[in-house]
Each structure stands twice: as C-alpha cells, then as structure tokens.
Amino acid sequence: MRSISTLIVRPTKLGATNGRLEAGSISMPCFIGKGGSTHLKVEGDGKTPCGKFPIRHFYFRHDRIKRSPCLITDSNISSELRWCDDVRSRLYNRPFVSGERCRSEAMWRTDGLYDVVGVLDYNLRSRCIGRGSAIFFHLYDARTSGTEGCISISAANMRRLLPRLSKKVSIQIL
C-alpha cells in the first residue's frame, strides 16, 4: 500500500462548509469553517485558511479510540491539555497543560470531535498573533455543520486514512 503525502480539500457546491477530502484515489466528505475558506485568516473568523500545511502531530484519546498505526508523531490527550487562542498570551497557538490564565480550548472533549486530532502547521512555526490558531484535522459527528476553521471527517474515514498517511503528509486547502 502506497502512503499518501498530500490530502486535498476542495469546496463543494453543497454550501460554504461542505467539502471533499481527496487522499490519493480515496474521496470523502469533510467539513471546513463555518465561514468557508479564506486566504486572509483572522483569529475568530470561523474560516479555514487556504494553502498547503504539513500535519505536524496527532493527538489521540486513548481511553476512547484504539490508536491506528500512524507514521506521524503522536501523543495522548490528557484531561489537562489545552490549546491557547488568546492573542494577548505568550502561549498563543500553542498547546499547554492547565494552570495558565489565558483564553483556551480544552483538547479533552466530551463530544468526541477531538478523539483524534491532527495539528496543522498553520501559524505555528512563524507565528503571527491574530492570524488564527488551533487549526486542526479532526472528527465530526451527525450534529456538525461546519467548524471554527478546522477540517473534519467522520471517525470511520479517519480510521481508514490514518494507516495510509506518509510521515510527511500535508493538507492542501483550495
């Protein structure tokens, strides 16, 4: 089985939040930001940034999901893990363990959307405050109709995809 090095997300005509994720010969439905996609991402706009971004890391809820074989580095999501989206914080667009006083998102969620989370290298390495944070590749459920700027797919499709991903996989959002 050949590994997949690029995932392509294309908008569909079904609405601004609906897309198709193409992984080699595999095509599956996905959701993007509630505000559609953009080339000029701003923190809190609900839009998915356009461009090509490597997936740097995966987080798993090992208490809920059996970890799929994956070549990309991964770690457990703990109940204390959070992601900073506070533009005033030195931790902006970084994971941290509870204790810091800043606006942030809990990675340990009850709804299952973050049972598997791929961290996109969007605004990570050359971080620009206010250009968007917590852009992830994660799961959706029946209630999902769009994300806050992430890309989401079903748990079944994520299980199907993870073992096929190259160690240096990227997501290209059109």
Task: Calculate what percentage of the chain has a pLDDT beyond 70.
Answer: 97
Mean pLDDT, the chain, integer:
93
Residue 170 has pLDDT above 70, yes or no: yes
> What pLDDT sits at residue 72?
81
Q: Could you tell me which CATH class the domain 4-173 is placed in?
A: mainly beta
Structure tokens at 141: 């459920």
pLDDT, average across residues 107-111: 95
| CA gyration radius, the chain | 15
Backbone φ, ψ for residue 69 (5° rounding): -60, 130
pLDDT, average across residues 81-98: 96
3-state secondary structure the chain: CCCEEEEEEEECCCCCCEEEEEECCEEEEEECECCCEECCCCCCCCCEECEEEEEEEEEECCCCCCCCCCCCCEEECCCCEEEECCCCCCCCCCEEEECECCCEEECCCCCCCCCEEEEECCCCCCCCCCCCCCCEEEECCCCCCCECCCEEECHHHHHHHHHHEEEEEEEEEC
**What pLDDT digit, counting tens, does each position of 14-39 carry?**
778 999 999 999 999 999 999 999 99
Dihedral class, residue 15 (left if φ above 0, else alpha if ψ from -120 to 50, else beta): left
pTM of this structure: 0.95
Residue 159 has pLDDT above 70, yes or no: yes
pLDDT band per the 50, 70, 90 thresholds, residue 143: confident
pLDDT, average across residues 46-50: 98
Extents of the domains making up the chain = 4-173
Q: How far is CA 174 from CA 36, 68, 113, 144, in A?
A: 11, 27, 23, 21
